[in-house]
Amino acid sequence: MLTYLALGVGLVSLWLAWRSHRKNAELRERIAQVNSRVYHLRREMEEAQQKAEQEQAKLRFALLKLQGDLRVTGDMTIGDIYALHPQSAQVLAGFHIGGCASCAVDERLSLAEAVALSGRELEPVLVALNTLVAQNNGNQPLPADRLKTPNVQLQF
């Protein structure tokens, strides 16, 4: 009789352990889904913020253009732009217009000529350069771009 009681308690214990393991697996799956949703929402929020910042920069550029306060124009030489702000080479390198070893440009060329040679549009380059100059008046470097959070999941 005691043997049957011990067997019954053992079976109930095994069933409870199996049920706990199953609930644990379900909860881990739900946590993974929530983490994935959070990641995607964060990515969407960052993309929306980047679009808003780009639109704001374009509006700031349009305002400067209307006021006639553009510090960087298409007629300026690349050398003059480098002299205007220390980070202008980095901005131009972002557009592959000088500023890096793989896309060297003669510093005597005007910005419009250099942009035309690289097959780019002039306005986005002017927006970026004038935003750079307008944000800190050429006094100090801007902070580095925000780091992207990778979608990495570790399972142990």
- 11-27 residue pLDDT tens: 999 999 999 999 999 99
**Could you please report the per-residue DSSP string of 43-108?**
HHHHHHHHHHHHHHHHHHHHHHHHHT--SS-TTSBHHHHHHH-TTHHHHHHHTTSSSSGGG---TT
- 67-120 residue pLDDT tens: 777 788 888 888 888 888 888 888 888 888 876 777 778 888 888 998 888 888
**Residue 42: Cβ within 10 Å count:** 13
User: Is residue 142 predicted with pLDDT exceeding 70?
Assistant: no
Spatial distance between the Cα atoms of 140 and 63, rounded to a whole number of angstroms: 23
Higher pLDDT among residues 58 and 4, named by residue? 4
* Most confidently modeled range among 64-78, 113-127, 136-150: 113-127
